[in-house]
């Protein structure tokens, strides 16, 4: 890979430029497969472990089993085996993705006595299915969401050693921008997350969330008590609920107020 003063690889720069041109996700997938192949990875799996709090997944991504939302070019046999074995509930890769922000290698997970018998079994099965080497890039956020981009290869552990140091920064960048693109195009605001509050309504709700009474909110915002009451009732009505405290819960769930 050619480098300009430690910057990311030229192929990655090209890929980011391509993303800016508003390609479809299907087109992005083709480019992504091409790109990671250059780094020695033949297969990928982009898994949404938890969507952003106020968004839901549409199209492109496929719902595999309960809770598993992914886009992948893993072999059909492996996907079926993964499903049959209920590996979603065992998978040490997804578990690790919750615990770290940095890319990690699957062979590092298997070192020492960290894994349960089932977890070791799953990684063993993956190796047997041709995924000799694998890496995963956890993608945390926004809005408490978690996705993971896994790349697999039939290269040996030693071969991975050689490329790991060079490639992980590039692939981390690729993963982050791809993640952003997918969130943008393959998710939409979930029901109830598209309530629009005026800035006054939002202010009144925010102070209510802090445990302030209507009277206190009116003093803080220098409004009359009746006006404050009006804003709170409007916000409550917009969420289709019957108490301002329920409206606060809705507003937090919709990401309008920080929890």
CB nearer to other proteins: give 179 or 244.
244
CB of 188 to other proteins, least distance (A): 11
How far apart, in whole angstroms, are the C-alpha atoms of residue 205 and residue 85? 47
First to last CA, the chain: 44
Cβ at position 181, least distance to other proteins in Å: 20
CB of 87 to other proteins, least distance (A): 21
Interacting residues toward other proteins by CB under 8 A: 50-56, 144, 190-193, 208-215, 229, 232, 239-246, 248-250, 252-253, 259
Nearer to other proteins, 81 or 233 (CB): 233
Least distance from other proteins to the Cβ atom of residue 235, Å: 12
Measure CA 237 to chain center.
Answer: 32
DSSP string, 38-81: HTT--EEEEEEEE--TTEEE-TTSEE-STT-EEEE---HHHHHH
Nearer to other proteins, 184 or 210 (CB): 210
- Report the residue number, 104 or 231, with the smaller CB distance to other proteins: 231
Q: Of 197, 196, 220, 198, which Cα lies nearest the Cα of 208?
A: 220
Q: Which is nearer to other proteins, 27 or 89 (CB)?
A: 89
Q: How far is the CB of 63 from other proteins (least distance, A)?
A: 12
Interior/surface letters 126-162, b for 16+ CB within 10 angstroms, e for the rest: bbeeebbbbbbbbbbeeeebbbbbbbbbebeeeebee
∠ CA 258-178-101, rounded to 5° = 55
Output the smallest distance, CB 145 to other proteins, in A: 9
Within 8 A by CB and 6+ apart from 92, the residues are 109, 115, 119, 122, 123
CB nearer to other proteins: give 126 or 235: 235
Count the neighbouring beta carbons within 10 Å of the beta carbon of residue 35. Answer: 21
Closest to other proteins by CB, 119 or 203: 203
Q: How many CB atoms lie within 10 A of CB 41?
A: 24
Measured CA to CA, the distance from residue 65 to residue 70 in angstroms comes to: 10
Min dist. Cβ of residue 232 to other proteins (A): 8
């Amino acid at each position: 890979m050619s480098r300009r003063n430690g910057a990311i690889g030229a192929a990655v720069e090209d890929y980011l430029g391509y993303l800016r041109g508003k390609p479809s996700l299907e087109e992005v997938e083709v480019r992504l497969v091409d790109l990671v192949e250059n780094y020695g990875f033949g297969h990928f799996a982009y898994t949404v472990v938890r969507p952003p709090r106020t968004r839901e997944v549409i199209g492109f991504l496929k719902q595999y089993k309960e809770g598993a939302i992914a886009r992948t070019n893993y072999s059909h046999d492996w996907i079926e085996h993964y499903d049959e074995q209920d590996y979603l509930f065992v998978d040490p890769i997804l578990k690790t993705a919750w615990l770290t922000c940095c890319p990690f290698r699957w062979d590092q997970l298997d070192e020492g006595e960290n894994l349960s018998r089932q977890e070791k079994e799953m990684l063993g099965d993956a190796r047997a299915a041709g995924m000799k080497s694998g890496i995963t890039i956890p993608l945390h956020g926004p809005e408490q969401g978690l996705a993971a981009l896994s790349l697999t290869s039939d290269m040996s552990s030693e071969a991975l050693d050689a490329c790991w140091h060079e490639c992980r920064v590039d692939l981390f960048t690729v993963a982050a921008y791809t993640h952003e693109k997918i969130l943008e195009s393959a998710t939409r605001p979930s029901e109830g997350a598209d309530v629009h509050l005026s800035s006054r309504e939002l202010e009144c709700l925010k102070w209510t969330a802090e445990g302030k009474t209507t009277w206190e909110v009116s003093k803080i915002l220098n409004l009359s008590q009746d006006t404050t009451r009006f804003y709170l009732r409007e916000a409550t009505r917009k969420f289709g609920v019957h108490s301002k405290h329920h409206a606060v819960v809705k507003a937090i769930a919709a990401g309008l107020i920080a929890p």
